[in-house]
Amino acid sequence: MSAEAVRRAAPAKINLYLHVVGRRADGYHLLDSLVAFAAVHDTVVAEKADALTLAVAGPFAAALSAESDNLVLRAARALADAAGVPPRAALRLVKRLPVASGIGGGSADAAAALLAVADLWRVAPEPAALAALALKLGADVPVCLAGRAAQMGGIGETIDPAPPLPPAPLVLVNPLVPLPTPSVFKARSGPFSQPAPLASAPRDARDLAEALAARRNDLTAAACRIVPAIQDILAALEARPGCLLARMSGSGATCFALFARADEARAAAASIRAARPGWWVEASGLIGDASGLAPEPG
């Protein structure tokens, strides 16, 4: 790998709560969500090349295609078109996050690709223009591009600063059953919720969990009807000593649990991993700002 290779981390996006607050005439649902990021991440690497190519490696590489419809390639082509530069880069995606799992893996990969090729090609689009380009790639790409805890509204295009969030140990669990977002929204029923942005900064993980307990994820019931294992995951997390809050992220099927202490999170992850070897289980940490997250070599 050349010394000029550009690396960007693509951290897991966590919807700490998610309220469905309405629906537009075109069918898209309007959301109110507090979004943060976990330290566990994919990695995107970009190097100079004569053409645009993509190689995929990592534990979940087999679940992805490296063909032209991959979001990483689409992001690179979109930026090249917008910047008026030739789309030339050898891209490598190290895929550590499960696919179609409610933690924004594909969106985070696309955002990381935008940042990586912008650096490689030495182009600097205006932030508003880059965010608009990101939205065309997917509703979650703009918040992943920002890489900071945020209140997300609209269909994902409205991103407002969130109060500072405390570092918090967490455990992420996925049953390794892909759960496409459109299927969950289609299965959702019931009234719409009201927005409930955090009014003040939580002092610590326990304070954060108490604030989140007054909110919810409005997609959980619909997701559980499609993938009943989500209920088993939530029960397993809630049963672990030290669990402050267990909840599904995004449209599922990944769930998370907050803990006050890192050793409690590690013990919970080890216990669940031993009991359910077919699940993806990671002890990680909640981070309010992912900009300083150093990607692992890949």
Q: Are 110 and 83 in the same domain?
A: yes
Q: Are 152 and 12 in the same domain?
A: yes
Q: Is residue 1 part of a domain?
A: no
Residues 6+ apart with CB under 8 A from 41: 9, 10, 11, 12, 96, 97, 108, 290, 293, 295
294 DSSP assignment: P
Identify whether the C-beta of residue 169 lies closer than 8 Å to the C-beta of residue 261: yes
Give per-residue pLDDT as tens, 225-256.
999 999 999 999 999 999 999 999 999 999 99
Q: Is residue 280 part of a domain?
A: yes
> Mean pLDDT, to the nearest integer, of 251-269?
97
Average pLDDT, the chain: 95
> Which of 109, 132, 161 is where one domain is finished?
161
Distance from C-alpha of 76 to C-alpha of 113, rounded to nearest angstrom: 6
Q: Are 27 and 138 in the same domain?
A: yes
The residue with greater pLDDT, 42 or 289, is: 42
- What pLDDT is recorded for position 69? 85
295 band by pLDDT with thresholds 50, 70 and 90: confident
257: helix, strand or coil: strand
Q: Is residue 221 part of a domain?
A: yes
CATH of the domain at 71: 3.30.230.10
Q: Is residue 101 part of a domain?
A: yes
Q: Are 209 and 243 in the same domain?
A: yes
Query: Is residue 57 pLDDT above 70, yes or no?
Result: yes
Query: Is residue 1 pLDDT above 70, yes or no?
Result: no
Identify whether the C-beta of residue 145 lies closer than 8 Å to the C-beta of residue 107: no
- What pLDDT is recorded for position 3? 61
CATH of the domain at 265: 3.30.70.890
> Which of 97, 126, 161 is where one domain is finished?
161
Distance from C-alpha of 91 to C-alpha of 43, rounded to nearest angstrom: 10
Q: Are 201 and 270 in the same domain?
A: yes
Q: Write out the residue range of the structural domain in which residue 123 sits.
A: 6-161
Q: Is residue 51 part of a domain?
A: yes
- What pLDDT is recorded for position 268? 98
Q: Are 129 and 177 in the same domain?
A: no
Q: Which residues are catalytic?
A: 13, 140
> Mean pLDDT, to the nearest integer, of 82-107?
95
Q: Are 279 and 254 in the same domain?
A: yes
> Which of 120, 141, 161 is where one domain is finished?
161
26: helix, strand or coil: coil
CA distances from 262 to 88, 89, 104, 294 (A): 42, 39, 24, 20
Give per-residue pLDDT as tens, 193-231.
999 999 999 999 999 999 999 999 999 999 999 999 999
- What pLDDT is recorded for position 294? 82
Count of structural domains within the chain: 2
Q: Are 234 and 143 in the same domain?
A: no
Residues 6+ apart with CB under 8 A from 48: 2, 4, 88, 89, 90, 120
Q: Are 155 and 176 in the same domain?
A: no
Q: Are 26 and 128 in the same domain?
A: yes
Distance from C-alpha of 156 to C-alpha of 142, rounded to nearest angstrom: 7
